Each structure stands twice: as C-alpha cells, then as structure tokens.
Amino acid sequence: MPHTMPQAGSTWEDLREQMIARGSGDAKWRDGKTAVYVFNAGEDVAKVQREAYTLYMSENGLGPAAFPSLKQMEDEVVGMGLSLLHGDEASVGNITSGGTDSITMAVKAARDYACAARALSGQPNVIVPFSAHPAFDKACKLMSLELRRTPVRDDLMADVDAMRARVDANTIMLVGSAPSFPYGLIDPIQELGDMAATQGIWLHVDACVGGYIAPFVRMNGGDIPPFDFEVPGVCSLSADLHKYGYCAKGASTVLFRSDELRQHMVFDCDDWPGGRMVTPTLAGTRPGGAISAAWAVMNYLGVDGYRAKHRQVTEARAAIERGIEPLGFEVLGRPQLGIVAFRHPEVDVFAVYYQMFQRGWFAALTTEPRALHLMLSPYHQSVTDLYLDDLRASCEAVASGDSKTVGEARYS
C-alpha cells in the first residue's frame, strides 16, 4: 500500500519534531563520524548556507530577466571559480546542480563540438581512466556514447599511453581526474593535455572533488601539479561547490576555456507554443537557494577562510596517515588533498569497516585494491585520535577472529 496523504494537515512544530526524530537513525555526521557524502566545515559555515539558501529558495535561476540578482550571483561564483582555476578573459561557465550534472553537460558540449567540427564515422566514444567517476558512464548511457575505461598505472593514476592506445577517429573526449574519488590522487593532467592537444581532442578535467580545495592547498605550500586551465589542452572542468567549496547541496560549476566551447552545452528551443527557452544546464528550474548559498559561503570564507579550513583538512589527513602506519596500513599513492585510501597487507579491510561501522563510523571502501577510504572535512581534525583509537580496536577485533564483514562496497 503506498503511503497516502493525511486528510488534515499538521502543525509545523509537530512535523519538525518528527523530522528530527527520523534523523536519529542517520549517520552521525555532525559528530565527525562520517567521511563520505557530507562536508562539515563548522556551524558558522552551516549557518551562512542555511540563511543564504532560504533568502532565495523560491526564486528561479531559469529566469535571469526576472531575477537578475541570481544571474549576478552566478556570474560572480563562476568568476571566483575561474580565477582560482587559471581561467582568463575568455573563459566562462555555469552553476549546475552537482558533479553529475556538470560532467553530463561537459560531455554533451564535447559531443556537439565534435559533431560540428568534424565528420564522425560511427558511435562517438569517451576515454576515461578506470578510476573516473560513474557520472561519465551515466552521461555516455544517456547520449548513446561508448565509454572506454582504461587501466590505471601501478601508482593508480591515469595511464596516458593506455588511453592513447584507445583513441580513434570517433573519440570526442579524454578525461582526467583531479583527484579521482577512489584514490584521491591527481591524474597526470599535463601529459593528458599534451596528448589531447596533439590529437585535437577535447580534454575534460573532473575536479569535482579537487576544484575548490587544490588551489588553496597549493597556496598553503602544497606541491600540487598543474591540473586546470593552466594546462593548455584542458577544454572544460567540473568543480563542485557542494563538496570542498563547503556550499549547500545542489551546486557545482562547469567551466569552459571559451564561450565558443560553452555554446555547445546550451540548449535552445523555440519549437513549442510557450516561447523560446534557453537553458545552459540539464535543469529547467534552477533552485535560487543553491546559487545564493554558494555566493554567500564563498564571500563569507574568502581566500583566507578557505585556506584555513583546508589546512585543517590536510592536517587531519596527515594525522591519520601517521596514525595508521603503526597499525600496518599502507596509504595508496601520495594523496595531497582531502581523500585518503589505505589498504592492509594482512587484515581484511571490509571486516575492519564492519567493526568501524559498529562503532558509529560511516565512510567508504575501494574494491581495487580493497582499501578503507575517507573523504575528510575540517571538522575531522578534532576526531582523528578517536578515529585512530577505534581503528586500532577494530583491527584487534578482526585479528582475534571476529570475521563479520560488509558484503560489498556500494554508494546507494
């Protein structure tokens, strides 16, 4: 029987209470015990998100003539993103609803660009490293494109030679991640850029996770390789505001080297009785709150605020890396941002995950290799000792024969 609507409405006070009670079974992310799905940048940032969101939550970014305020905020957010990611006078972009939206629209732009620029002789294809996000699979499925996943190198980064070997006349896009979600490592974007430029193929950098942290880690002294428009072959970038931009959910940026490239993303329809409709991204209605909250958080934190928050993230990561080593874990590669994955040569990490889950921790796993995975927030700096104590206890429980385990690593 489907859930039915109540005949009479309830008071907001009752509903509010019910809603809070429902959340009691959710991951305890406000305590810092969740390291996937959510970003905890502190109560001050949450307050700005909340209040800025509600100020424009009914307005619609679909209508810039009706809401020039939102258009102006979007332009300024995109401008801030571009200025952090080596955009120049020619570069442009839009706010989308999230990473998957940004990636889908970049793929669409690359496909339409390729169709306009040259004659394709069969099904167009997109070449990605094995570590690329499934958003590319989804985009390719939606647009009937072939996705070619190529093995990564032993160091878990994109293998440019393996990608080159899969290129043919119908290749419309090459992809590198900065960083990849599973490993938190930045692919060799410079090398990919050289290949893309030589072959005349669109290079997209998926900086959904890294776009709003890597520039600040570099400012903090981190040794971050070129990964954005600084690399000449990069045509487009996805960078999520609702991840390390610490903005409210439902906000990402998709950025292009030039408006000529961006124009291939825009959908323009005049063939219906409602009048001409021009939409840059996948959405029709575009939630004003996601745009206004992004604008407010970016201006609230500023460069200094982001540098300070991201320093907390990288210090938390370094503390965890130091603490897991004596437990026998091995970090995958040399992560530089907020994601770290680590495997164990002897202990079954899926069983350790189960133990950590019993202790209230919610994080992720990788499958190749099998590893524990954390996507850290500033707040985690205050719980690294607790995490390491629980990890030690979890490893001991597994070593003493408690073999209960999670069946699989999944995100749904």
- Long-range pairs for 138-141 at CB < 8 Å and ≥24 separation? 138/100, 138/104, 139/100, 139/103, 139/104, 139/107, 139/108, 140/107
Which of 32, 99, 288, 305: binder of ligand PLP (CB under 6 A)?
Answer: 99
Please tell me whether residue 209 binds ligand PLP under the rule CB under 6 A: yes
Query: For the CA atoms of 332, 334, 339, 340, what is the dihedral angle to 10 degrees?
Result: 40
Pick the piece of the chain touching ligand PLP (CB under 6 A) from 97-105, 223-231, 262-270, 351-359. Answer: 97-105
Please tell me whether residue 245 binds ligand PLP under the rule CB under 6 A: no
Please tell me whether residue 240 binds ligand PLP under the rule CB under 6 A: yes
Name residues contacting ligand PLP, limited to 355-384 (CB under 6 A): none
No. of helices (H) and no. of strands (E), the chain: 12, 13
Pick the piece of the chain touching ligand PLP (CB under 6 A) from 19-27, 161-169, 203-211, 381-389. Answer: 203-211
Peptide bond into 179 cis (omega under 30): yes
Pick the piece of the chain touching ligand PLP (CB under 6 A) from 69-77, 92-100, 253-261, 327-335. Answer: 92-100
Q: Give the 3-state secondary structure of residue 311.
A: helix
Pick the piece of the chain touching ligand PLP (CB under 6 A) from 76-84, 202-210, 257-265, 269-277. Answer: 202-210
Q: How far is the CB of 301 from ligand PLP (least distance, A)?
A: 20
Q: Which residues contact 96 (CB under 8 A, 6 or more apart)?
A: 102, 105, 251, 252, 253, 254, 281, 282, 283
Task: State CA 176 to chain mean position distance.
Answer: 13
Please tell me whether residue 181 binds ligand PLP under the rule CB under 6 A: yes
Please tell me whether residue 185 binds ligand PLP under the rule CB under 6 A: no
- x/- mask, ligand PLP, residues 6-45, rule CB under 6 A, reads ----------------------------------------
Cβ proximity to ligand PLP: between 201 and 239 the closer is: 239
Please tell me whether residue 206 binds ligand PLP under the rule CB under 6 A: yes
d(CA 186, CA 133): 13
Task: State CA 389 to chain mean position distance.
Answer: 29
Cα 377–97–52 angle (5° rounding)? 65
Please tell me whether residue 187 binds ligand PLP under the rule CB under 6 A: no
d(CA 194, CA 119): 23
Please tell me whether residue 158 binds ligand PLP under the rule CB under 6 A: no
Q: How far is the CB of 300 from ligand PLP (least distance, A)?
A: 21
Residue of minimal Cβ distance to ligand PLP: 99
Tokens of 135: 């958003």
Cβ proximity to ligand PLP: between 135 and 255 the closer is: 135
Nearest to 52 by CA among 212, 246, 188, 186: 246
Residues that bind ligand PLP (CB under 6 A): 98-100, 103, 133, 135, 177, 181, 206, 208-209, 240, 252
